[in-house]
Chains A and B, each alone.
Chain A
């Protein structure tokens, strides 16, 4: 039978123990530093959000999306000052809209999609059918998308992931189905960009922990860019695809190219 013996530490043992503790401390200090440092940087780094909802039938192997009609893409600027009493300012950027139109068409083509873009800036006096046909459809899509949600029998709403497939989409009015014959496609899209310019506060934690990132953060404007796409199938009379993504970066050409290409890549897959 073993009897537990309590060993009393003598001076040499204490020194050895202290040395071991010191070694352990010197080993863990850089790692602790690197861990804290990495965590701060990761949490303060650029993060975005993406939510893609689509019905199961949209882009199954049977469906072949060859053409999409894009109804007047919007480019809006939202400016806030940070003061409570000041109002938000909305602006519609026409020059940026032309740039967005080109990016949309170019990236759709790269994904083997034909995008027929109807732009109100380029409408002729003879194009009056836009106001009687496409403008009401755009309003309908936006309203329905705001008021209704996708139907999912299997999952609850709070279990939403980045990419979701549903049984059915929000239902739009069925009298738009004639547009499928007129434009040779049942798919009509509402796309747009909203950039939100915020007051630049800078992040003090970032400045203290990683000065190069912190200094860059102080001088770069704080801008959030939102990109959305809603695609409706006018024959099925429902919204079949909806995507919203947020990036905390300005709407530069390279950012928009990356966003729009990725969006069409998801649609075409």
Chain B
């Protein structure tokens, strides 16, 4: 803990808007605390096996991407993990001026290619049956970078109109998931994990893109409300582009050792 306190007191990083940058510190504190639990926690795992590798089979279908991760049983009912996620979803844009003229949506689809790494924590509800088997509640936090492609509808004065594509690179993206799941072990090594919950994503467009036109930010915000949840979006949830909604994952994995 002394190392943790000195780490916090020495690192005085401030963001441009005056807030203390504590995200990285909190992340390291969480990892540090989890690893210190090994010393005193009554950890069983499934027949002594604690390390798991899992990959999501829903992601390639719903998000055109991959989602995989390593998880480790740290306490009797607690599992922590590192996740890697790559999504490349395409979205039909809704441009009102284009729709008025052509009575259709633009033929070119917008896309968000998002690469994220994250930490996950699972708390297994059954005290009698130790992790990683049974029902659990989970929380996930991802950070990453996204490349956004979209089209803008431009009308020349007195002449024809056209679609102009634009790309925004290295957009900082954050995602937070919360929900419940169930994990089952077959044949002593095969894992099937089903989870269901709420996802909330944010894309921070203004961080590296000061030259971005305000109306283009609105264009992105219009379709980015579907980014994050993979089955059903409830809409946007804060000022920054990004969506909130329901997500489902079906993961298959193996118990390594």
Interfacial residues, chain A to chain B (CB-CB below 8 A): 26-27, 29-31, 33-34, 37-38, 41-42, 45-50, 107, 110, 162-163, 210, 212-213, 227, 245-247, 249, 254-255, 257-259, 261-262, 265-266, 269
A258 pairs with B185, CB closer than 8 A = yes
B46 pairs with A38, CB closer than 8 A = no
The answer for the CA separation of A255 and B183 in the assembled complex, in Å, is 12
B130 pairs with A262, CB closer than 8 A = yes
A-B contact pairs, 5 of them (CB 8 A): A27-B238, A34-B178, A46-B134, A162-B127, A254-B184
B128 pairs with A34, CB closer than 8 A = no
User: What chain A residues lie within 8 Å of B105 (beta carbons)?
Assistant: none
User: What chain A residues lie within 8 Å of B130 (beta carbons)?
Assistant: 258, 262
- Other A-B contacts than A41-B179, A49-B127, 6 sampled, CB-CB below 8 A, are A30-B198, A38-B198, A45-B135, A213-B196, A261-B46, A262-B130
Q: Is the interface of A mostly helix, strand, loop or mixed?
A: helix
Contact of A261 among B48, B135, B200 (CB under 8 A): B48
User: What chain A residues lie within 8 Å of B137 (beta carbons)?
Assistant: 38, 42
**Nearest CB of chain A from residue B132's CB, rounded to whole Å:** 9
* A40 nearest in chain B by CB position: B180
B126 pairs with A48, CB closer than 8 A = yes
Known: A38-B137, A266-B42. A258 touches B196 (CB 8 A): no
B234 pairs with A262, CB closer than 8 A = no
**Nearest CB of chain A from residue B96's CB, rounded to whole Å:** 21
Interfacial residues, chain B to chain A (CB-CB below 8 A): 42, 44, 46-48, 125-130, 133-135, 137, 178-180, 182, 184-186, 188, 194, 196-198, 200, 234-235, 237-238, 244-245
A45 pairs with B128, CB closer than 8 A = no
User: What chain A residues lie within 8 Å of B235 (beta carbons)?
Assistant: 26, 30
Known: A49-B128, A261-B47. A38 touches B133 (CB 8 A): no
The answer for the CA separation of A265 and B238 in the assembled complex, in Å, is 48
**Nearest CB of chain B from residue A43's CB, rounded to whole Å:** 10
User: What chain B residues lie within 8 Å of A227 (beta carbons)?
Assistant: 128
Known: A27-B238, A42-B137. A259 touches B128 (CB 8 A): yes
B128 pairs with A38, CB closer than 8 A = no
B128 pairs with A261, CB closer than 8 A = no
| Most chain B CB inside 10 Å of its own CB: which residue of A26, A29, A30 | A30
B48 pairs with A110, CB closer than 8 A = yes
Known: A47-B126, A49-B128, A258-B133. A30 touches B44 (CB 8 A): no
The answer for the CA separation of A107 and B244 in the assembled complex, in Å, is 45
User: What chain B residues lie within 8 Å of A247 (beta carbons)?
Assistant: 126, 128-129
A27 pairs with B42, CB closer than 8 A = no
**Nearest CB of chain B from residue A250's CB, rounded to whole Å:** 12
B188 pairs with A257, CB closer than 8 A = yes
* B248 nearest in chain A by CB position: A212
| Most chain A CB inside 10 Å of its own CB: which residue of B44, B126, B186 | B126
A38 pairs with B129, CB closer than 8 A = no
The answer for the CA separation of A42 and B139 in the assembled complex, in Å, is 14
The answer for the CA separation of A24 and B234 in the assembled complex, in Å, is 15
Contact of B44 among A48, A212, A261 (CB under 8 A): A261
**Nearest CB of chain A from residue B68's CB, rounded to whole Å:** 23
